[in-house]
Every structure is written in structure tokens, then in C-alpha cells.
């Protein structure tokens, strides 16, 4: 299994934080980093997806048995924009192939979400 830190850099929705410019530049803490260690308070998080995922102790929504019918995630993925489609593809890839394979592929990405 890949290092836990690598998996922690995958947002609950499928965003790959390590490819995100604000994260790379140090302006963003990432989607999940710091919550497990108590550095950040989940009660202050505004993202419904993140709150649900972390309260259930899931790595990402890929691990959730309710994934196919989740209305919150479904409405998020249906937003206009390239990135939402890519986030959904990432979660579906992880569900089918696992975190190790996803991280191996994502490690070679040069731009956000493999664009």
C-alpha cells in the first residue's frame, strides 16, 4: 500500500491536491491534511463531501458503499467544468483499480488532474 501521505493528498471527491497550483504554492492546506492529527477542526469545514467522508473515517468517497446513490456527490459532479468530470473519473478509477494504481499514474501528471 502506498504511503498514507500520498492517499491523504487525494480529496474525498477525487481532486488530486498535489496537482493543484494553490496547494503546490502553499496557499492551500489540501482537502484532508491535518484533520487526522487534530491540526484542523472538521466542525469548521464547509465542504459537505469532506465532512461526510471524514466523519465516516473513509479515505475518499471511493470507499463509501453509498457512492452510487449519493445526491451530494452527484450534484457536485454534475456542475459545469472540466475538473468535476475528472474528479468523478478519479473516484471511479480508484473504486475499480485501487489507490496504488491511481497514485502511480497521477505521479506522472504535469498539470491538474492529468489534463
In sequence order, the 6+-apart residues with CB closer than 8 A to the CB of 79 are none
Distance CA 91, CA 97 (A): 10
Distance CA 19, CA 52 (A): 23
34: Cα separation from own chain's centroid: 14
Instruction: Please give the pLDDT value at position 115.
Output: 61
pLDDT in tens, 72-92: 999 999 999 988 999 999 999
Instruction: Please give the pLDDT value at position 28.
Output: 86
Q: At what angle do helices 99-106 and 82-97 cross, to 10 degrees?
A: 130
pLDDT in tens, 39-62: 999 999 999 999 999 999 999 999
Amino acid at each position: 500500500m502506498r504511503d498514507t501521505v500520498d492517499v491523504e493528498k487525494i480529496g474525498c471527491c477525487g481532486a488530486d491536491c498535489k496537482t493543484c497550483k494553490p496547494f503546490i504554492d502553499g496557499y492551500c492546506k489540501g482537502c484532508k491534511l491535518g484533520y487526522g492529527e487534530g491540526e484542523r477542526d472538521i466542525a469548521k469545514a464547509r465542504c459537505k463531501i469532506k465532512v461526510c467522508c471524514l466523519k465516516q473515517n473513509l479515505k475518499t468517497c471511493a470507499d463509501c458503499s453509498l457512492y452510487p446513490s449519493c445526491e451530494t456527490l452527484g450534484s457536485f459532479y454534475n456542475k459545469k467544468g472540466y475538473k468535476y468530470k475528472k474528479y468523478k473519473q478519479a473516484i471511479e478509477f480508484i473504486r475499480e483499480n485501487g489507490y496504488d494504481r491511481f497514485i502511480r499514474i497521477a505521479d506522472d501528471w504535469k498539470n491538474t488532474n492529468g489534463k
